[in-house]
Amino acid sequence: MLQKLSEHIAGCWARAEDAERRAVQASDATVRADNERLAQSWRHLARSYEFVESLERFLLDAGKWRAAPLPLPQPPCPKCGQGMRLLGIEPTMDDRDLFTFECTTCAHLEVIGDSVK
């Protein structure tokens, strides 16, 4: 879709330039004004297509980031030393988050508090 939008944008700018050129060359004031309005409309349409293109790029990029998993630290289990997995995060009343980890080997639970700043 982005390729098609780029072609539409280029076409709009070309038509705007053509209308501007005809406005400059026109001897009749009415024809000149009509071509100036036409050029303005083509420029407005080109900018609208550019906005849609930038929005589409933003949404495509946001989708890539959303799909990528966040790297989470896996602390070692204090009992057996193996890796632990995150079970949950809970907010507290004192602006802290409590991270609950479970050992993948011995099932030990560990709750770690972290300050939010």
State the architecture of 70-117 in CATH terms.
Single Sheet (2.20)
Q: Quick one: pLDDT at residue 117?
A: 41
Q: Where are the domains of the chain?
A: 2-67, 70-117
Tens-digit pLDDT string for the chain (117 aa): 556 778 889 999 999 999 999 999 999 999 999 999 999 999 999 999 999 888 888 888 776 666 566 666 678 999 999 989 888 888 877 777 888 899 989 999 998 886 544
Q: Quick one: pLDDT at residue 89?
A: 84
Q: Quick one: pLDDT at residue 69?
A: 62
Following DSSP, what letter does each residue of the chain receive, concatenated?
A: -HHHHHHHHHHHHHHHHHHHHHHHH--SHHHHHHHHHHHHHHHHHHHHHHHHHHHHHHHHHHHHHHHSPPP---PBPTTT--BEEEEEEEE-TTSEEEEEEEETTT--EEEEEEE--
Q: Quick one: pLDDT at residue 77?
A: 92
Q: Quick one: pLDDT at residue 37?
A: 97
